[in-house]
Amino acid sequence: MKTLISIIGSTGIGKTKLAIEIAKHFDTEIISSDSRQFFKEMKIGTAMPTLEELAAVKHHFVGNLSVTDYYSIGQYETDALRKIEEIFAEKSTVVLVGGSMMYEKAVAEGLNDLPTANAENQQKLEKIWKEEGLEKLQEILKSLDEEYYNIVHKENPRRLLRAIDVIWQTGKKFSELTAIPTEKRNFKLHRIGIRAPREIMYERINQRVDKMLENGLLEEVKTLVQYKDLVPLQTVGYTEIFKYLDGTWDFDFAVEEIKKNSRRYAKRQETWNRKVENVTWLDYNYSEEDLGVILSQI
């Protein structure tokens, strides 16, 4: 049976580096499950793998779309599984890596059979969003399903709209529906997680944001102002700079908000990952020997 190795962990913890090491070890390729790195215009703010990293191991679903493209999680699941099967034709192992937890789950375990969007619900929610703001959608979701509210990307209106719509249609919590077992995959799944003490994680996130700014994050965001209302750009690192560019915030405050919101996102990832089963955990400062022991068991 073929094997999918999925690398999980909070943002900035070192997943890309680990994925490349493992892919080299098994002479295989990498599938990205980072939904922000799909978009070619968002290289810096998403910490997309560098040209050197992309050259070291073949990556899929990195910079393959434009921010103007519509791409659902269902489409991603289908496309990613097709690509994995193609790689399995020649390799016995594939590496999956990314920080978008639902996208990782879609490939590793499968999505649940959720209802399609209800037009009436969507219109009602769009109206609430435009007239009362994102905070109102967050408030509605928290009242309906606090468990999912605690892990969802709260700044992404589409995630909020989708969850509320499904809850309204089914009368069941989104977290309950997505926890229902799905059809079994035809590959073995090994999850390897990276973890670090909270203070180390936060320090790495702060340093990562500083590095993004050195690499030209402000200039990248300036090129995307005309697209700022599109869903891919409703995300940390971009929404804050847009507020600086439109005069709402000063630059230093916007940078601190990026760091704060990145730390919040990392906490949500931690909350999600604590509930994921059958994970082999590595410390962030793992040695070659530590990794070798884990890989020898796969």
16 annotated to a ligand binding site: yes
Find the CATH number of the domain harbouring 140. Answer: 1.10.20.140
Find the CATH number of the domain harbouring 45. Answer: 3.40.50.300
Q: How far apart (Å, rounded) are the C-alpha atoms in residues 146 and 105?
A: 20
267 annotated to a ligand binding site: no
Do residues 196 and 159 share a domain? no
Average pLDDT over residues 2-29: 97
Contact 234, 156 (CB under 8 A): yes
User: Where is the domain boundary, 156, 179, 202?
Assistant: 179
Q: Is the pLDDT of residue 61 over 90?
A: yes
13 annotated to a ligand binding site: yes
Do residues 7 and 96 share a domain? yes
Do residues 165 and 45 share a domain? no
User: Where is the domain boundary, 139, 160, 179?
Assistant: 179
| Residue 119, SS3 per DSSP | helix
63 annotated to a ligand binding site: no
Q: Is the pLDDT of residue 130 over 80?
A: yes
Q: Is the pLDDT of residue 113 over 90?
A: no
As for how many domains the chain has, the answer is 2
235 annotated to a ligand binding site: no
Residues 6+ apart with CB under 8 A from 268: 150, 151, 152, 153
Query: What pLDDT does residue 175 have?
Result: 87
Q: How far apart (Å, rounded) are the C-alpha atoms in residues 102 and 241?
A: 26
11 annotated to a ligand binding site: yes
| Residue 47, SS3 per DSSP | coil
Do residues 104 and 141 share a domain? no
Query: What pLDDT does residue 38 have?
Result: 97
Q: Is the pLDDT of residue 181 over 70?
A: no
Helices within 40-156 (DSSP H only): 51-56, 73-88, 101-108, 119-132, 134-144, 146-149
Do residues 164 and 242 share a domain? no
Query: What pLDDT does residue 54 have?
Result: 97
Q: Is the pLDDT of residue 124 over 80?
A: yes
Do residues 44 and 189 share a domain? yes
Do residues 186 and 175 share a domain? no
User: Where is the domain boundary, 159, 179, 199?
Assistant: 179
Strand stretches in the chain, DSSP E:
3-8, 30-32, 59-60, 93-97, 188-195, 279-283
Do residues 150 and 288 share a domain? no
pLDDT band at residue 173, thresholds of 50, 70 and 90?
very high
| Host domain of residue 188 | 3-111+182-296
Q: Is the pLDDT of residue 145 over 80?
A: yes
237 annotated to a ligand binding site: no
Lowest pLDDT segment from 51-55, 80-84, 229-233, 247-251:
229-233
Strand-pairing partners, residue 194, are: 282
Locate tokens 């719509």: which residue? 165
Residues 6+ apart with CB under 8 A from 263: 201, 202, 205
Do residues 197 and 101 share a domain? yes
Average pLDDT, the chain: 94
Q: Is the pLDDT of residue 95 over 80?
A: yes
Query: What pLDDT does residue 117 have?
Result: 83
Q: Which two tokens stand for residue 253?
A: 């405050």
Q: Which of 184, 180, 178, 181 is nearest to 151 (CA)?
A: 178
14 annotated to a ligand binding site: yes
The number of beta carbons lying within 10 Å of the beta carbon of residue 127 is: 10
Query: What pLDDT does residue 13 have?
Result: 95
Do residues 217 and 242 share a domain? yes
Do residues 124 and 204 share a domain? no
Do residues 190 and 142 share a domain? no
Q: What count of Cα atoms within 13 Å lies in the side-chain half-sphere of residue 209? A: 21
Q: Quick one: what percent of the chain has pLDDT higher than 70?
A: 99
Lowest pLDDT segment from 42-51, 152-161, 167-176:
152-161
